[in-house]
Amino acid sequence: MLNDSKRRARYHPAKFFTDPSRADIIRHDVVEYETEQVYTVEIPEGRLRTLVEMERKFFNYINHRGKPIDMFQMLMDKEREEAHHRHTNSAVQKAYEQYSIMLNLAGYQRKI
């Protein structure tokens, strides 16, 4: 890391006409912002290309059957679907628990 003394502002747009009961009231008319730290680093071109490729694969750049998909959203949807099946079917829940125990015994730790 070469430098970590800079900060930049992240602005949140104002939310006008958001009162659910009256459309003529303006709420939150102040533009909110927060700051985040900016890092300056040196990185070889090959590593940068690898990071860009990973980002493309994970966030909405993959073409799947002619249309872009959001890999992160797809993984989250799958996780929710699996959780639904576990909660609605006791046999699936029991199999999941046994599978989790076997993974834990094999040394796999799920990182949350």
Alpha carbons 85 and 93: distance in angstroms, whole number: 8
pLDDT score of 60:
61
Where does 1-112 have alpha helices with state H? 45-58, 71-88, 90-105
Alpha carbons 112 and 104: distance in angstroms, whole number: 14
Alpha carbons 61 and 67: distance in angstroms, whole number: 9
Q: Is 6 left (phi over 0), alpha (psi -120 to 50) or beta?
A: beta
The pTM score is: 0.40
Domain boundaries, the chain: 1-42
Alpha carbons 63 and 77: distance in angstroms, whole number: 18
Alpha carbons 100 and 40: distance in angstroms, whole number: 41
Cβ(31)–Cβ(13) below 8 Å:
yes
pLDDT score of 45:
92
- For each successive 10 residues of the chain (112 residues), what is the average pLDDT? 77 64 62 79 90 76 63 82 90 90 81 53
